[in-house]
Amino acid sequence: MSEFRYGSVCSGIEAATAAWHPLGWEPAFFSEIEPFPRAVLSHHYPDVPLHGDFTTIEGNEYGPINLLVGGTPCQSFSIAGLRGGLDDNRGNLALEFLRLADRTRPRWLVWENVPGVLSSNGGRDFGSILGGLVELGYGFAYRVLDAQYFGVAQRRRRVFVVGCLGDAGSAAAVLFERNCLQGNIEERGKKSVQKGEIAGTLTTRTGVANDNYSVEQGHLICDKYGPRWIMPIECERLQGFSDNFTKIPWRNKSAEECPDTPRYKALGNSMAVPVMRWIGERIKKVEEL
C-alpha cells in the first residue's frame, strides 16, 4: 500500500496519525478549529497542512486521498446531552462529513461517534447517515468497539462506521472477523476483541491506579496513597498516546509550563489510539488481499 494518503477532519490531537504512522500511511491534511489541539498538531506535524473548518474544503486542494477519517462532535448524540441530533449544528456535521466524502471521493471512510447516535431521534438520525453513505455509493459496516479490549485501561465504547466505495463486503471484513460473520460475535477464540483480556491497572511513578475508568469522567482514582486526581500523563496513557504528547509550548509559555486543563479536554475528546490502529491494520490487510 505505497502512497496511501488520508485526510482527517475534526482531527483533535490526531489519534489516527498516532495509530497509522507505523503503517506507512501519509496524512494529506488535518482539519481542526479548537486552538489547543491545533497547537498540538502544529507542534508534532508542522509539515502537514492544517485546515480550519472542514466544511470549506473544496475537495481537490490537498490532492487525492485514499481514506477520509473523522469523529464529528458527539454532544448532540450523547445521552448526557440535550440530544439535538442532526437538528443540532454539531450533529449536522455528520452530514457535512458525507458531503466532504462526496467532494473527495476516497475509497475508504472511517467515522466515529458515541453509542448514543444509534438511538438518537429513535434511530432515524443514524439511519439518515447510513442512507447518505448508500446514496454516495459506499457499502458500509458499523460496530461498537470498547477501548478496554485493545490494551488500554479505560472503558470507552464508540460506534465506528467503515465505508468502502462500492463494496460492502470489504467494509464488513474490516470490522468483523470470520467468526463474527458466522454469527458468533461474543467468542472469537484467544484473539477476541470482545472477549479478550481487559486492560486492568495503570502503573505510574506515583503508584498503581486500580480498576478501569474513563478519561471522560474526570474521575478521582485511588492508588496506594489514597484518592487523587488523575494526571495528564495518565490520560495520555489511557488513550494510547506517548507520554507528554500534549505537553507542548502554549500561549507564550514553555512546554514545562503547559496548563493541565486544555490537555485534559483534548485527550477526553480524542479517539483511543489502539482502536484506530486495529482498524487501520484491518483496512491494510483488506487492501493487500
Q: Which residues lie closer than 8 Å to 183 by C-beta, 6 or more apart?
A: none
pLDDT at 91: 59
Phi, psi (degrees; rounded to nearest 5) at 35? -60, -45
The three grid cell numbers given for residue 140, joined into one nine-digit string: 458500509
For 221, the 3-state DSSP assignment is: strand
Cell of residue 23, nine digits: 503503517
Residue 242, all three cell numbers: 506517548
Domains in the chain: ranges and CATH: 5-183+271-288 (3.40.50.150), 202-268 (no CATH)
Task: Tell me how far apart the terminal alpha carbons of the chain are, to the nearest angstrom.
Answer: 11
pLDDT of residue 222: 73
Q: How far apart are CA 284 and CA 2, in angstroms?
A: 11
Torsion, Cα of 222, 226, 231, 235 (10° steps): -10
What pLDDT was estimated at residue 225?
81
Q: Which residues are catalytic?
A: 74
Each residue's pLDDT, cut to its tens digit, for the chain (289 residues) gives 458 999 999 999 999 999 999 999 999 999 999 999 999 999 999 999 999 999 999 988 999 999 999 998 755 544 444 445 455 555 578 889 999 999 999 999 999 999 988 988 888 889 989 999 999 999 999 999 999 999 999 999 999 999 999 999 999 999 998 765 444 444 433 344 444 455 554 544 433 333 444 555 458 777 778 888 889 999 999 999 999 999 999 999 999 999 999 999 999 999 999 999 999 999 999 999 8
